[in-house]
Each structure stands twice: as C-alpha cells, then as structure tokens.
Amino acid sequence: MTQITLKGGEFLIKDEPSSSVFIPEEFSDEQKMFMEMTTDFIKSRVSPNITKIDKHENPQLLIDLINEASELGLLGAGVPEQYGGMGVDFNTETILSEKLGPSLSFGVAIAAHTGIGTLPLLYFGTEVQKQKYLPGLTSGKIKAAYCLTEPGSGSDALAAKTRADLSEDGKHYIINGQKMWITNAGFADLFTVFAKIGGEQFTAFLIDADTPGITLGEEEEKLGIKGSSTRQIFFENVKIPVENLLGQAGKGHKIAFNVLNIGRYKLCAMVMGGAKEATSIAIKYANDRHQFGVPISSFGAIKHKIGEMAIKTFAVESATYRTSALINDKINELIAEGKDKAEAKLIAAEEYSIECAILKVLGSEVLDYVVDETVQIFGGTGYSEEYPVARLYRDSRINRIFEGTNEINRMLTVGMLLKRTMKGELDLMTPAMALQKELLSIPDFGNDDEDTFFAKEKKAVSQAKKAILLVAGAAVQKFMMEFEKEQEIMMNLSDMLIDLFAAESTLLRVEKLNSIKPESSALFENIAKCFLSDALERIYINGKHAITAFADGDELRMMLLGLRRYTKYEAINTTFLRREVANHLISKGEYNL
C-alpha cells in the first residue's frame, strides 16, 4: 500500500492508509528500552515518594528526583546531541511522555522544564544562547520555567502588562511587571519571560533567576498537582543584557503560540499514560472488592465502566501515536531538505497544530472521565485521601486548563482549518459544495465487500467526513466573515472533528494490527466498532445542534436528512462489545491493551 503523509487538517478530506500510521504494537527494541527505563524509574523512585512531594515534606526531594531523571537522559531526550541531549526521534519522545503520565506532580515539573521551559530556547535561541543554557538544561544543572500568564492576561496572552524598556546606553532591558501561575517558579534557574518593549512590542527574554530585582510569591494552594511549585514572580527594575532577548523584538507571539503546539501534544501523551494507570487501579480494586459474595467486577454496571474507560483510552492512544508518526515523518522530511532538527521540529509541530489542539481536548477529557469513573468504582473509599484515587481526581482537573483551555483549543481547531482554507493550503470548500448536489441524488448504499477488513466501518468514517463538511460549509456560507463569533457552532464542529479523528485513528490502528497479528485482532475490532458507533451518534447530535442554530424551514429539513444519511451505521450490540473488552481486562487484572 502506498505510503502517504497527510498535511495538517487534511484528515477531513483525505483517507490515510493504515500502513502509514505508527502504532504502539510496533515499538522498536530501543523504544521499549526507553519505555521500561522510564516506567521503572517512576515506579521505584517517584511513586513511593509522591505523598511526600505533594505535602512538601522535603522541598529538596522534587529537585533531587528531577536530577535523577536527568541522569537517565529524560530531561534532554529530544534535544540534539551537540547540546548534551540524546537526540531521540519524535515517536520515542511520545513514549517517554506517556510513561511520565502516572507521575502526577513530578510529571508536571518535568514537562514544564523539558517543554515550555526548554523549547523556546531550542527553537528560537541564537547559537550563543543555546551553547550557554541548553547543556545545563539537559543535564539538570539548570531548571527552567515559562513566564507568560499575568493576573489580567490568561487566554488573551497578548494583553500582558509586563514591560521591557531599553536602557539609555542601549546595552540592557529593564523589566517591570508580574507573572502568575508559573510552574517550577520556586526552584527554576532560568525564566523565559514575555514582556512588551516600550509597552508595545510583545517579546520574549531569557532571565536568570538570581538577577537582582526578582522576587517570588508564596507557593499557591492548589486544588491538585500540589507537589509542583507554582508561584507568582515579580520583576522590579530587573536589568538584563540585550543579548538575552529571545527571537525577534515584537515577535514573542510566535514563540508563545508555537511552543504550545508541542505542549498540547505532549500533554495528551502524558494524560493518556495517566488514564491507563487509573484504569488499572480501578480494575484491581473491582476484582478485590466483594459485595453480595462476589467481586464487584462481575457486575454489568461495573463492566460497562471498565469497558468504556478502556475503549476511550485506546482511542486516545491510537490518535496520539498516529499524530506522532505524522510529526516524526515531517521532521525527517524537513531534515532531508536541509533544515536542522530544532527548526524541523518547530515547523512540523506548526503543520500539525490542528491535530495537537484536538489531542489536547480529547486526552484531557478522557482522563477526566476515567478518573471520575475510578472514584465511582471505589465508592466511598474513593472520596478518602487515604486512597490514591482522590489525588488522581484532583490532579486531572488542571489538564483542561493547561496549554490553553479546552474551549480555546476547540475554537482554534475550527479556526485554523478555516484559515488554511482561506490561504489555499486546504481545499475544504470544493467537497463541501459538492455535497449540496449529492444531497439531491438518490443515496448509494452500495454493496460492501464482505472480504474487505472493516469495509463498513471505513465507509462510515468517509461518510462522517461529509457530515462535518456539510455543516461547516453551510455555516461558513451563512455567517461568512462573522463565523468565528459563533462560538457555540464552532464548539459543535470541533467536537465532530475530535470524534472523527479519534474514530478513524482507532480503525487505522486496528486495521494495521490485523495485518501484523490477525490472530489477536478480535478484541481490538470490538473496541474500534464500539467507539465508532458511539462517535457517529455524537457527531450526529453535535451536527444537529449546529444546524438548528442557523437553519430553518426546508433548508433545516434537508440538512438534517443529509446529516442522518452521513452518520448512518448499522445497529450493533455495543453492550456486548463493551462487556467483552471489560471481561478481557478483568481477567488480566489491569489495562493491558
């Protein structure tokens, strides 16, 4: 089968062959080694100490563990070797992020350091800046923090008030202002700080934490991730060399927004790892807990929960590693064209910014679902701080706010698709306009080739793409340049896209798995069919909400008929499929898909 790499957002209008996707079942021996190393470190060193970390019983403990992680190469895995990193490929970076997922507050500290703390310098720093700071960041000798948010600027980052004024001799910038919610602030040695030069030009700066004029607020009392350091930072006449300006003056938004693409992606990889761990915890408890003389895992209501937790997590994993392959392939393509690795990674992340936004929403909301159901399976004990699931519940909630709120990411998903269409980078309108003619034709239900694996399912996915194009095309025609003000419709469309991407990714993974290990694919077929069936119903419902917000009369009736036509799928016994998945996991005593 032909190898195809889709452009960002192109999944909506083109089909990707399963041979192109990367799936966990084909990890290399080296990747498995990294995976096992990270897992062993989290289980042996971090998990036994997580309560001490959360209670700040030993403030040095978190720092010591970060230093231990650096000795394993975890702080510089994706950094090029010339700066002291390991230079692993992007797929391996994804694996490491996933395995850090169950480490809770520790994982937050690591992700802040290796992601938003290090990537601005890696992507936009001068060679002098990289040589000065990157070796220390990869070795752990320098800890990093990212200073963007202010009391009056959260989602609207460009509304920042922090100022940078050039000194009279032109050799320094004087920084004044305040930042809040800064992860790692309490122990960071290097801050990436966003400020406006002269109150106008939004710009990034590298500031050493020991520079005179910097003071820290007290540690924030947070709902969750209690062990991570979160403080306000105050800058009063902080004098830094002009050489510490990062990137270009007035171009700080490029740094802030581009770094978030990888941040969103890796957040999804981490929460996916957390969802696997939470599902395993729930399964073990359900097997051990007896009521009415039998394990509660034998009850249908509990099986429904376990099955659904596993199916949703499997879908997130499938979508995550599919995107990992897209980004990895793009990086390799750009390197072959002469780009250096850091620049290639930046461009590749920008190319798949739509997929990164989708994954951030999908992963964080699946983890929330999983930990909520885990608490429910534990019952009253789940509400007690003596058991681990209360911490999982509290720690999960921040992920829908981190890296841009889920509402912002939903609107970005649709907004970026439209902008790429307007620029001619994606042709969404041609197939959208063609649907108007197709709606007037007699439906072609076709004869699916029963010998073709997933023939009905793949056709259902292709039809679902038409459903989204139908709604999106009509909405854009209706509102034109005012469309982005219709946030409710954009949210509906984004949810349709999220379900489509997750369902198609799951089908592609299972199809590829069937070609590799056909003898073990029955369980995974159940997962794919169950998720697809439910996803199509959600796509229909979100489409209906969107259509009824702007259409009426004959137009409304025709569009609703078309929507139902494009989201049709055979009625299947999802109760049975979900129960089969749950029975498998219950028998294994953990999530092992």
Give the distance, in angstroms, between the CA of residue 289 and the centroid of all CA atoms in the same chain.
Answer: 34
| C-alpha to C-alpha distance for 68 and 39, rounded to whole angstroms | 14
Residue 367: count of CB within 10 angstroms of its CB: 30
498: Cβ contacts below 8 Å, ≥ 6 apart: 358, 361, 362, 413
* 403 noted as active-site residue: yes
Alpha helices in 549-573 (DSSP H): 553-566
User: Contact 579/300 with Cβ under 8 angstroms?
Assistant: yes
**What distances in angstroms separate CA 437 from CA 39, 75, 442, 562, one per listed residue?**
54, 55, 10, 11
Catalytic residue among 403, 457, 486, 511: 403
Residue 238: count of CB within 10 angstroms of its CB: 25
Query: Minimal CA–CA distance to 211: which of 131, 147, 257?
Result: 147
The C-alpha R_g of the chain, in whole angstroms, comes to 25
560: its two tokens? 């609703």
Which amino acid is residue 47, in one-letter code? S
325: its two tokens? 């392959």
Q: List, as one string, the DSSP characters of 444-471.
A: ------TTSTTHHHHHHHHHHHHHHHHH
301: its two tokens? 């209501």
Tally of CA atoms within 13 A in the half-sphere of 214 that contains its CB: 21
Phi first, then psi: give them for residue 239, nearest 5 degrees: -100, 120
Tally of CA atoms within 13 A in the half-sphere of 462 that contains its CB: 11
Query: Minimal CA–CA distance to 245: which of 199, 195, 194, 205?
Result: 205
Number of H helices, E strands in the chain: 19, 10
User: Contact 508/322 with Cβ under 8 angstroms?
Assistant: yes
| C-alpha to C-alpha distance for 302 and 42, rounded to whole angstroms | 29
| C-alpha to C-alpha distance for 146 and 205, rounded to whole angstroms | 10
**Active site members:** 403
